[in-house]
Every structure is written in C-alpha cells, then in structure tokens.
Amino acid sequence: MSRPDVSWDAGRRSRTGSTYGLYDPAPEGGISTTRQTEISNLAVPWSPTSYKGLLFGLDLESGWGVMHDPIFAYPNTVNNANVILIGDLGSAKSSGGKTWGCLRPLILNRNVIVVDKKPSDSNPEEGEYAALSRFFGREPITFKIGGGGACLNIFDPAISPEVEDTRTNGSEAPPSQAQLLRAVATEVLGRPVSSREGKAMRTAHHRVLKETHATGRTPTIGLVIARMLAPSPIDCEELQIDRTVLREWGYDLAFELERFVDEDLSGLIDGETSENVILADGLTVFDVSQLPETGPALAIIMTVINTWMTNRLFRAKNRRQTHFIVEEAWHVVQTSVAKVIRRNQKVSRAIGLSNWFMFHHVSDIPPGTEAEAIIKECDTVLVYQQKKAPDARAAVEMFDLPASSYGTILNLATGTCLMKIGNEAPFEVKHLRSDVEKILTDTDKALTAQKMNEVITDELEPHAA
C-alpha cells in the first residue's frame, strides 16, 4: 500500500474491496510502441499488395499503402502487364494514369509513349500532355491534316520492316510494310481489301521496293499509288496478266488512296518521315488531339505508331521496359487499329511492353470485337466511379467483379477506384499524389497558371528525360 507507483483502485464499485486486495491491482500503463503492442490486436488488417512496386495510394479498408507495378508483378501476380482504367469524366482517372503510369515509371528508367487525344483546357490546339512533355525538355510530336505537323512514312524501315521477320512464327513479329499497307487500305476503303485489289497492291509495292533500292531512295505511298495506276510491264509479264487487267484490279483502291492522301490524310503519311519524329528514351508524346474523330486519319496514325513502337522494341539490343498509354482510348476501339493493338499485345511480354488504356465506360467497347478481347486481357483493372447504373453493372460483368462491387462503383469518391490485380479480390484504394505531381498531372490550367509555374520552379528544375 506504500508503493506510490501502483494504484490499488481498479475502478470497481467497492473501493473497500479494492483496498483489501479482493480485485486485481490496476497499475498505470507503461510506455510502448505500436510494433510491441501489435500482438494485442488479434485482427490486424493486412495490405492487399506486397511492398514491391510503385506506390499508387492507400487501401481504404486496411490503411496500408498499395504498391503495384504491372511489369514487375509478371508472371507471379499477373499473366500480362496490360492495364485498363475506366471512369466517368471528373473521376480523376487521368490523374492516376499520368502519375502511376507515366511519371513514376520514368524514375525506374523506363520509356513512356503516350498517344494524347484529349485537347488541353488552356490551349485547345494541343493535347493535355503537351506541357508535361515540354517539362521534360521535349516537344510533343503533333499531327495536323493539311500540313504544319509531323509526317510518318509507312514505308520507312525504322517504322516497319520490308518483310516479316522469319525468325518468328508471324504472330510474334511486328507487322511488315505489306501488312501495314493493307491496314491503311482497309481503313480507307471502310471494308476488307478484295483478293484482286490485294494482288494489285502487293505487286505495286514490290515493284516500288525494287525501284527505290536501285536508286537509294525510300519508297512512299505516292509511288505505290502511281505503280497501281501504271503497272510495270515486267510484273505483267511475270504474272502473265494483261497490263490493262492488272490496272483495273487496283483502280478503285488506288483512286481511294489517292483521294485520301490528298485530302483526309494530307500531310500525315504522304512524304518522308519528319526529322522531329524520334522515339527517344524517356517520355515521348504523340499529340493526335487535332485529328478528327471521324474518318481514317486517327486510326491510320494510331496503326503506324503502334507498328513503329513494336518494331523498335522488337529489334532493340538493350531494350528498355516501356509503357504505352492511350488516352481517350474509346476512339481506337471503333476502328481497325484494334486488330493491330491486339497483335502487339501478344508480343508485349517478349519485348517488355505494358499497354495502358483509358476509357469512360464499358459501353464504349463493342461486344464481340478485337477491342473487347484487348480489354479482357488486361490483368490490372482500375474502375473509377460510374454514375449510371447500367455502366456500373457492365463494369462488374466485364471484369468479373463481385456483385457487391456494383454499389461501390456507383458511389466511389473522386480519386478513388476499385482495383483488381490478376485473380485477387478487388479492393477500394485512394490515389495519392505529391504536391509537385498534382501540378504536373492536373489539367493544363494548373500548368499555365503563374502561381503554379512559380511552385514548379521552386520545387524542381526542368531537365531532359
């Protein structure tokens, strides 16, 4: 009773009982740490991910940090490194993609290639990644119909090989020039190329290759069109076909290609590849925000970019892991470019490629198409808020989420998403950004504001990627 550090009053109703030791003593608690007292909590929440990967945010159930990287997680956690983000306008889906898919991977010495379709809020004449590209010391590669932008020559050896690589089984190699030319022709015609059109086109292409090799020039689509309209007598003799007949086989296709090259595709694919079009290490932004959403221009440029990227990675000796990000990806799935992307997905594991797609709704994806197959092959899924009930149900069905996810998706807060990694159960996570990341990944209104520029200058000095 004489010890001052021990209180014999355990807070019982009978103070007398406490005095005579009828109850356990109640000494004051000692100083400890959360690590020492963990054992007292028999239901410790566990992190939904390991500590290996790039920080995305906080798991709202456990409070643990969510660390995940689709390339690093392959093949133990995921079967592929492809990622899809789906969410309504204003759900902060783009912020997540820019931070976790673009900025942070650059720290790991990866390449990031972005196809930017969304016009900037501050400058509608360029995409919203333009300012971010300039921050890293590189102008975005901009495409404009009629000139004033970049040009891609589909027969540039750096973009596509003349013939398919014989070291592979075909499905593992990037598309050849002939396959790229057929994809362009299909998009221009709005239908598959017929057998006779295909023969006339292939014959003209092979003849142009021989003629340009002899003169040291690079073939162009204009030369191929000219040869379709004026077949070589040598080819006609080898094929044992009258020159008039061979020309008639390619008339419709040649005229359509000629019209589109002069009008709808003017300045895009009708000349030599522009000198500023370089797939350098670091961040490369292809700004397609000025291309119309209807017509073949956007699909053809997307096809060429995909072919070029895959071919470059396929041939690289010291290959760097690459993120390929398609903003506003809904414009891709309606066209033949989905077939090219699907083909590239098959080789992504071999060339260290992680494809990232951003959609508004599952309803943007036509059922039973190549586009649907592309989405279903993404093993990392981030579903942001879907305000409409049909969209939320479609997301649950598309990504095989628990039925209870339906209500969660409808009521997700801005910057919060339902994340599903491989076959693991989905969990709700809040994306975290640093102060500098908030500036760099926000809309261009923030990037062009004087106050924000001052913050960037104070926090970081612009540097080359």
Provide the pLDDT confidence category of residue 275 given band limits of 50, 70 and 90: confident
Q: Is the pLDDT of residue 444 over 50?
A: no
Residue range 175-190: average pLDDT? Answer: 87
For the chain, the C-alpha Rg in angstroms (whole number) is 29
Residue 277's pLDDT is 82
The model's pLDDT over 252-269, given as tens digits with 9 standing for 90+, comes to 999 999 998 888 888 888
Provide the pLDDT confidence category of residue 229 given band limits of 50, 70 and 90: very high
- The conformation of residue 119, written as its DSSP 8-state character, comes to B
160 or 71, greater pLDDT: 71
Rounded Cα distance, 291 and 297, in Å? 7
Provide the pLDDT confidence category of residue 114 given band limits of 50, 70 and 90: very high
Provide the pLDDT confidence category of residue 124 given band limits of 50, 70 and 90: confident
Rounded Cα distance, 97 and 92, in Å? 9
Burial of residue 53 (CB within 10 Å: 0-12, 13-18, 19+) is buried
Nearest 5°: phi and psi at 280? Answer: -85, 165
Q: Is the pLDDT of residue 113 over 60?
A: yes
84 or 278, greater pLDDT: 84
380-383 and 416-421 strand pairing: antiparallel
Mean pLDDT of the chain: 82
The model's pLDDT over 366-397, given as tens digits with 9 standing for 90+, comes to 787 777 888 888 999 999 999 999 999 999 99
Q: Is the pLDDT of residue 21 over 90?
A: no
On whether the CB atoms of residues 112 and 281 are closer than 8 A, the answer is no
Residue 452's pLDDT is 46
DSSP annotation string for 411-446: TPPTTEEEEEETTSPPEEEEE---HHHHHHHS-HHH
Give me 5's structure tokens. Answer: 């550090």
Q: Is the pLDDT of residue 446 over 90?
A: no
Rounded Cα distance, 1 and 65, in Å? 49
Say which residues have a Cβ less than 8 Å from residue 217's Cβ, sequence separation at least 6.
none
The model's pLDDT over 127-177, given as tens digits with 9 standing for 90+, comes to 889 888 998 888 999 998 887 888 989 898 888 877 655 455 444 566 788
Rounded Cα distance, 213 and 219, in Å? 9
Query: Which span out of 133-147, 273-287, 412-426 was modeled with the highest average pLDDT?
Result: 412-426
Percent of the chain's residues with pLDDT above 90: 36
Rounded Cα distance, 101 and 380, in Å? 12
Helices (H), 1-149: 15-19, 70-73, 93-96, 104-107, 130-135
On whether the CB atoms of residues 201 and 155 are closer than 8 A, the answer is no
On whether the CB atoms of residues 94 and 118 are closer than 8 A, the answer is yes
DSSP annotation string for 197-220: HHHHHHHHHHHHHHHHHHHTPPP-
Q: How far apart are the first and last CA of the chain?
A: 73
Give me 190's structure tokens. Answer: 């709005």
175 or 19, greater pLDDT: 175
- The conformation of residue 163, written as its DSSP 8-state character, comes to S
Give me 436's structure tokens. Answer: 């500098």
On whether the CB atoms of residues 97 and 358 are closer than 8 A, the answer is yes
Element (H, E) at 229: helix 221-229
Q: Is the pLDDT of residue 10 over 90?
A: no
